[in-house]
A and B are shown apart, each in its own frame.
Chain A
Amino acid sequence: MIDQLMTETFGKKLRDLRIQAEVGLRELARLIEKSPGYISDVEQDHVPPPSEDVILKIAAVLNVAKKELLTAARKMDPEISSYVAREPEAADFLRMAQEKKFERKDWDMLTKLAQAAKLGKTDKDDQ
């Protein structure tokens, strides 16, 4: 699965998701206000993946999880970028993770630990 994510291009991912969603190439172009030629170029990887904003529009039109397309484009969800920008400790933590060369198993472990420790607020806390 991870290997597939690493080798599958954004263009191929987009095309597969579009066909699964039964949305035509020209229809997608019209719905996100881009030209069919541009979408064709993206799908054939003749140009780099679109900006985050455009990817979010595509995800909405195709009714797919934005994470799926953002990951394929190696882009960060704009909401996450802005969260990291607002929380300097989060940026420090990520820097540390980078220096320590965290791997997937480390992130899995951290996620489990955070859940076990009930870190952060739940929806209930906000009410």
Chain B
Amino acid sequence: MKVPWLTKKSIAAAANRVVADYETKIEHRVQPPVPVENIIERGLGLQLGFADLRKKLNLTDVLGATYVKEGLICADRSLAESQNEGRLCFTLAHEAGHWVLHRDLVVQACRTGRGRAVIFCRVKDARKPLEWQSDYFASCLLMPEEAVKEAFGNCYGSGPLILYNVKSAFNGPVCFDPCVDTWPKIAGLVKEAGGFSNVSKQAMMIRLQDLGLVRNETRVPLSWRESYSLA
């Protein structure tokens, strides 16, 4: 299946439209945490399910699936039972992204016999265009630009936060200097300030960087693995 290039702007616009349509339906504004399950069921009119995809497909790294013909979005059952709200909601928002951005492609591929009417999402495929586009959609859906900017502004003011150092010079609970190893604290503060309780700190930090609110000038990448111990 050939996936056309989509700009970040067009993906963000698609996510904003989904939220706007849902707001029209429910007749009030959506505030973070963005209710992704309600958006899927009531906004997009799709079925939501939690299936044992890993067992069913015999794949250990599958997180979710979008069944285009059935209008069904599924997350792996383990995500619903793990109490990891951020991971589950991101997966659901990601699948909603496939529905919004890619369902016509899937239908077309099925018609020409070049694909199946289902998209399975695996960790190993994260860098493929189809998956990247849905990840970006999920990020925009769960963390709308204006809401993130407002929360960030309440914590750090209007300018971008530039990380010049790798390690913090301070170790106490009071001192806080922005550097690479304190990124979970930065993301955590913005999350709390904006009420983004259904996104992970990692997802928030990626969004902050994408919006130009945090810039890492150290050439040392932020370590997501460390986030588990620091978050």
Task: Point out residues on A near B: beta carbons under 8 Å.
Answer: 15, 19, 22, 24-26, 35-37, 40, 43-44
Please tell me which stretch of B6-14, B36-44, B121-129 contacts chain A, meaning at least 4 of its Cβ atoms lie within 8 angstroms of it.
B36-44
Once A25-B48, A44-B49 are accepted as A-B contacts, the answer to whether A37 and B77 lie under 8 Å apart by CB is yes
**B11-50 CB contacts (< 8 Å) to partner A:** 35, 37-38, 41-42, 47-50
For B, the interface residue count at a CB cutoff of 8 angstroms equals: 15
Q: Which 9 A-B pairs have the closest CB atoms?
A: A37-B77, A36-B80, A40-B50, A40-B49, A37-B50, A36-B50, A24-B37, A25-B48, A19-B41
Q: What are 20 inter-chain pairs, A to B, with CB distance below 8 A? A: A15-B47, A22-B42, A24-B35, A24-B37, A24-B38, A25-B37, A25-B48, A25-B50, A26-B37, A26-B80, A35-B77, A36-B50, A37-B50, A37-B52, A37-B77, A37-B80, A40-B48, A43-B47, A43-B49, A44-B72
- Judged by a CB distance under 8 angstroms, whether B81 is at the interface is yes
CB distance from B50 to the nearest CB of A (A): 4
CB distance from B206 to the nearest CB of A (A): 25
CB distance from B47 to the nearest CB of A (A): 7
CB distance from A28 to the nearest CB of B (A): 11
A37 near B37: Cβ-Cβ < 8 Å: no
Q: C-beta contact mask, B45-72 vs A, less than 8 Å → 1, else 0? A: 0011111100000000000000000001
A37 near B41: Cβ-Cβ < 8 Å: no
Q: Which residues of chain A have C-beta atoms less than 8 A from B49's C-beta?
A: 40, 43-44
Choose among A24, A35, A37, A44 the residue with the greatest number of B CB atoms under 10 Å from its CB.
Answer: A37
Q: Which residue of A has the minimal Cβ distance to B45? A: A19
Choose among B50, B52, B77, B81 the residue with the greatest number of A CB atoms under 10 Å from its CB.
Answer: B50
A37 near B47: Cβ-Cβ < 8 Å: no
Q: Which residue of A has the minimal Cβ distance to B26? A: A22
New A-B pairs, 5, CB < 8 Å, besides A19-B42, A43-B47: A24-B41, A35-B80, A36-B50, A37-B52, A40-B48
Q: Which residue of A has the minimal Cβ distance to B79? A: A36
Q: Which residues of chain A have C-beta atoms less than 8 A from B72's C-beta?
A: 44
Q: Which residues of chain B have C-beta atoms less than 8 A from A25's C-beta?
A: 37, 41, 48, 50
B51 near A37: Cβ-Cβ < 8 Å: yes
CB distance from A76 to the nearest CB of B (A): 29
Q: How far is the CA of A36 from the CA of B77 in the complex (A)?
A: 8
Q: How far is the CA of A47 from the CA of B47 in the complex (A)?
A: 17
Q: How far is the CA of A26 from the CA of B49 in the complex (A)?
A: 10
Q: How far is the CA of A25 from the CA of B50 in the complex (A)?
A: 9
Q: How far is the CA of A60 from the CA of B35 in the complex (A)?
A: 24
Q: C-beta contact mask, B167-192 vs A, less than 8 Å → 1, else 0? A: 00000000000000000000000000
CB distance from B83 to the nearest CB of A (A): 11
Q: Which residue of A has the minimal Cβ distance to B74? A: A40
Q: Which residues of chain A have C-beta atoms less than 8 A from B42's C-beta?
A: 19, 22
Q: How far is the CA of A35 from the CA of B72 in the complex (A)?
A: 19
Q: Which residues of chain A have C-beta atoms less than 8 A from B51's C-beta?
A: 37, 40
Q: Which residue of A has the minimal Cβ distance to B52? A: A37
A35 near B41: Cβ-Cβ < 8 Å: no
Once A19-B42, A25-B37, A26-B37 are accepted as A-B contacts, the answer to whether A35 and B81 lie under 8 Å apart by CB is yes
